Structure 1
């Protein structure tokens, strides 16, 4: 990664920190919205023929216990904010009147950074709050479960978390029927089997109450 690219992403991350978010890494800052959900703003770097670098902000939501359940069902470790552990994400571009966020090497223009900060405050933060609606997240994954295994896995994990149960035979059957290929059906069955058999998943949704 070019030094100018690093400097731009670091400066944009600094703008997010100034708005009250916590730096997770260069190009990503987050905040905890409630006991279960985190919101974040990630950044993609696009390089133009003119030599300028364009920053494309990506609002994101991580429903932490749901992503942990997905990891248990897959039999993988849970890495928060890894590419496979984002519950919702959406590219949101600025309006034409505002224009793109473009930085020309070697400078990191302060006016462009200020514009980026205004956009995050006025547009991205409200978008993240909207994306964090639990019912809408479940509706999204259930409605699109036929489009891919990952959506069906997320729908099952959300149902397990919201119902506080791993015994979801009816819901599992409904999601399984939406899979059109033998391979995805077999993979979803394996996911369901691992999730039901995971002691970590069971402890997450129904932690033992220990006497004081």
Structure 2
């Protein structure tokens, strides 16, 4: 499977590029803003952005199949995560997506599939209908702040940065970097030395970050 959400593989075929361009154009026609080929976004509120990305499957018959991806970026939270990791913030990079979910078409809709060399208009219309009927509602449902926090807290012991995200969310919603109790709770469920060390380093950088304090303080001043 090839993903059209980061840097494109050098072997991506011209037909696949044309399909992604056409599908991105459909998103723009629906009112979204193009970020790059295969991704268009819109600002949902002051803090959150929704995005429709695309994964690509090349079928055994040589067709290009599009798998739409519902994406959500909670911008200030992702900025806090970047401060805690000590990295720069790159919006819509794979490491800066708060939630993402592939949305498969229902069987009665059928796949979004383009047979080379054509980019059929009726298939683009099918893609646009799927975005409106399924993908946008999925993104709106994903934007529940409480559910996002529950998601990261529930998986805090599973690694993959979930505990770090939970700390960043708590910092943002409480407008405080005094996270001692929550930090201790999240640290207690880490079962590996590596994840414990990573969370300890994250907490140290986040609570000592001048930029994180400015971000939270600026919001409080409003």
TM-score (norm 2): 0.93
Identify if the C-alpha distance between structure 1 residues 40 and 159 changes in structure 2 by more than 3 Å, giving closer, same or farther: same
Deviations 1:52-95 (A, max 9, x none): 01000000000000000000000000000000000000011001
Deviation at 1:207, TM superposition (A): 2.3
- CA gap 1:178/1:208 in 2 versus in 1, 3 angstroms: closer
For structure 2, the residue ranges without an aligned partner over 5 or more in a row are 1-11
Measured against aligned partners, the alpha-carbon deviations of 1:156-198 in whole angstroms (never above 9, x if no partner) come to 0000000001110000000000100111111100000000111
* Counterpart position of 1:29: 40
> Which residue among 94, 97, 104 is the counterpart of 1:93?
104
Separation in 1 of the partners of 2:218 and 2:87? 21
How many residues end up aligned between the 2 structures?
210
For the residue of structure 2 that corresponds to 1:78, the secondary structure is coil
Question: 1:107–1:202: structure 2 CA closer, same or farther, 3 Å change rule?
Answer: same
> Structure 1 unaligned runs (5+)?
none
Answer whether contact 1:149 1:188 (CA < 8 A) is retained: no
- TM, length-normalised to structure 1: 0.97
8 Å Cα contact 2:16-2:64 kept in structure 1: yes
In structure 1, distance between residues paired with 2:203 and 2:163: 10
* Cα distance change on mapping 1:171 and 1:20 into 2, 3 Å: same
Going from structure 1 to structure 2, the CA distance change for 1:207 and 1:105 (only over 3 Å counts) comes to same
- Give the aligned partner of residue 38 of structure 1: 49
Match of 2:212 among 195, 201, 212: 201
4+ residue stretches of structure 1 with deviation over 4 A?
A: none
Q: Matches of residues 86-165 of structure 1 in structure 2 within 5 Å?
A: 86-165=97-176
Distance 1:184 1:148 in 2: 6
